[in-house]
């Protein structure tokens, strides 16, 4: 399943979100959700412990001025990559 996180992790039920992740899922941080990828935060540590692949939309990182703060462990993707992820996963959930 592809999970797209569009909200800031400070403004949502992040624990509930984590409970819904299953092995093999992909998580794409977009819009304000890219804040969950800031290096050194508890949100990122929790995501890194989950059995998922983690990506962030490059345009949203840049738009929020977070280029130097996002963890290098997160795959940065383009809109084309976003489409590829969506095609790969027939099941999708937006948070």
Q: Which tens digits make up the pLDDT trace of 19-74?
A: 999 999 999 999 999 999 999 999 999 999 999 999 999 999 999 999 999 999 99
- At the second CATH level, the architecture of 2-94 is 3-Layer(aba) Sandwich (3.40)
- The domains of the chain are located at 2-94
User: Using one digit for the tens of pLDDT, what is the confidence trace for 48-58?
Assistant: 999 999 999 99
Q: Order the strands of the 75-77 sheet from edge to edge.
A: 75-77, 53-57, 26-29, 2-5, 92-94
Q: Taking the alpha carbons of 45, 47, 50, 54 in that order, is the dihedral positive or negative?
A: negative
């Amino acid at each position: 399943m592809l999970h797209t996180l569009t909200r800031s992790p400070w403004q949502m039920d992040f624990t509930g979100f984590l409970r819904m992740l299953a092995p093999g899922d992909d998580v794409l941080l977009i819009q304000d959700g890219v804040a969950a990828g800031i290096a050194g935060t508890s949100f990122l540590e929790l995501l890194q412990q989950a059995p998922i692949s983690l990506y962030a939309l490059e345009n949203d990182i840049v738009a929020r001025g977070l280029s130097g703060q996002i963890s290098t462990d997160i795959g940065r993707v383009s809109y084309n990559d976003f489409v590829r992820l969506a095609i790969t996963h027939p099941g999708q959930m937006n948070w």
